[in-house]
Chains A and B, each alone.
Chain A
Amino acid sequence: MRFVPHTEADIARMLAAIGVQKISDLFSTVPAGLRKTAVLDLPAGLPEQDVVARLTDLAAADRPLASFQGAGCYNHFVPAAVAQILSRSEFATAYTPYQPEVSQGTLQACFEFQTYVAILTGLDVANASVYDGASALAEAVLMSLRIGARRDRILISDGVHPEYRAVVETYLGGFGRGTVETVPLAADGRTDTAALAELIGDDVAAVCIGYPNLYGVVDDLPGAASLAAANGALTVSVTTEALALALLRAPGECGADIAVAEGQSLGLPISYGGPGVGLFAARRKFVRQMPGRLVGETTDERGRRGYVLTLATREQHIRREKATSNICTNQGLAALATTVFLGLAGRRGLRELAVRNAVLAHEVAARLEAEAGLARVHTGEFFNEFVVAEPPGDTWYADAVAAGVIPGVRLRELLPGRRDADGQLLVTVTECNAPDQVDALVRCLAGRRAA
């Protein structure tokens, strides 16, 4: 096959050097019975041209329609320079930087990434990324249980994304500690502070608040954090749309002790939900409890500034069963995409992009109310996502898709079995939704066919 470079002569030379007659001799330690049944019943290999054709056909069976879907995965414009840097094979095909002398590219980029995440979250330290926002939350919950050694309750706002909640519950399964309780939302779409005050206690390890939450609402993070702090619990902010952090008061400023986020919005395509990049930041005093890789600054023997993986003794390859996590890879190249993107957007550009998203989303919300008679279900402030009542009838969604527009995410799909999710549509607007797409959305939801 084409990636194996050896000629017959090469193989003969290698066999001779080893001192065996044929390749199958090298598998003498594999029992013959196993070898007999191991033949792979798979098609023959294809040349590159055919691989491309096959995959192009599959991709063509997908229709990337104009979409107003968010709910944890956000379509933003990614500048060409990001892909260009990612295609540098020195970044793409490098391994984890265990030999720092020859990995300064990767290590310095990670250090820059950590810095960006710390600034966005308003916290002291950030790691070099975890798999995604959902596992970041799960790791934050485990971390808060380690820190609050005698506290076993985890309060999660009903505004936290259900997939994130599901991952937390899976991670807690068998862990031996930690039970999750839901804090309901108030009518405005923010966490019900009175309910939180009822539930909070000195046996709570962490309070987790969506910021913004599943419904796009900017939750009262400072309020929740002060209640948590008064009871000795940690506050974890959970952000699915990382762009919001360019505009909203930073979670650390609002009292969060740990901030987790999905960073996909910042430089990664939506790619059917993965790969993403999990952002994880915390207060300095918790640094030794943090999961994942950390890159630190130091000097080399000639006094030059350089970067190394550090505090590695928390990690699985050293601490093994006592590790802070089992995590091995981070999201290296995905974190690099975010790092490059944030440099391109820069101090002013990222904020402007966030403002643009908010302005566009608010305009769409206003138009849906005025022209389609669909008002927002919540009154809390929002960033670029909001919930409206679904239009009447059964065909509006299919009709919209047929017209080339996916009008949003139906909450009944996201929260099956919940009556209060029936008849609600989560609409997300980004800078990628051109004016004609917005017009089409309004038309579809107003019940009028595509013009």
Chain B
Amino acid sequence: MEFPNNLLYTKTHEWVRTEEDGSVVMGITDYAQDELGDIVFVELPAVSDEPVTKEDPFGVVESVKAASDFYAPVTGRVTEVNDELPNSPEVVNQDPYGDGWMVRMAADSKDELEELMSAKDYEEMVSDLS
């Protein structure tokens, strides 16, 4: 199970990466994709100027046995989504932190990022769950 150090994590098993241009990219973690099993469908939010609040559910990841909401890690707007995923949902299983990225957001503020967990803290949280 991987917990890349350069990422931040939410309690709801999303990972977050800050890009050079200030945008924020998210996806679901290795633990999440493993729990879900073979992913069959990803419902992504629409790109729009509509404000999204941190912790709003804004998409769904579906596997054969479960359908799980995923949540906005920060407050802001959705600026881009990974168009590959609807056609190849298995990419989320294969490469959750790379090609399996889901949503890019323009975050309203940097402060909320400080509320997220480090890789170490997230790994600890996950091991408590098992």
Contacts and interface: CB of A to CB of B under 8 A. Distances in A.
Interface of A: 288, 312-314, 318-319, 322
17 contacts: A288-B41, A288-B43, A312-B64, A313-B40, A313-B62, A313-B63, A313-B64, A313-B65, A313-B66, A313-B67, A314-B67, A318-B65, A318-B66, A318-B67, A319-B67, A322-B67, A322-B69
Contacts of A313: 40, 62-67
A435 B65 CA distance: 57
Contacts of B40: 313
Interface in B19-73: 40-41, 43, 62-67, 69
A255 to B, nearest CB: 26
Nearest to B67: A313
Nearest to A288: B41
Given A288-B41, A288-B43, A312-B64, 6 more contacts: A313-B62, A313-B63, A313-B65, A313-B67, A318-B65, A322-B69
Main secondary structure of the interface of A (DSSP, over half): helix
B100 to A, nearest CB: 19
Contacts of A322: 67, 69
Interface residues on B, range: 10 to 19
A322 B67 CA distance: 10
A318 B37 CA distance: 14
A314 B64 CA distance: 10
Q: Give the 5 A-B residue pairs with the shortest CB-CB distance, closest first.
A: A313-B67, A313-B62, A319-B67, A318-B67, A318-B66
Nearest to B63: A313
A322 B57 CA distance: 12
Of A313, A318, A322, most buried by chain B (CB within 10 Å of CB) is: A313
A319 B68 CA distance: 8
B12 to A, nearest CB: 15
A296 to B, nearest CB: 11
Nearest to B43: A288
Contacts of B43: 288
Contacts of A319: 67
Interface string B2-21: 00000000000000000000
A313 B63 CA distance: 7
A318 B40 CA distance: 15
A288 B42 CA distance: 11
A314 B60 CA distance: 11
A318 to B, nearest CB: 6
A298 to B, nearest CB: 11
Contacts of B41: 288
Contacts of A318: 65-67
A127 B66 CA distance: 20
A93 B4 CA distance: 52
Contacts of B65: 313, 318
Contacts of B67: 313-314, 318-319, 322
B28 to A, nearest CB: 15
Interface in B56-93: 62-67, 69
A314 B65 CA distance: 10
Nearest to A314: B67
Contacts of A314: 67
A362 to B, nearest CB: 49
A66 B76 CA distance: 69
Contacts of B69: 322
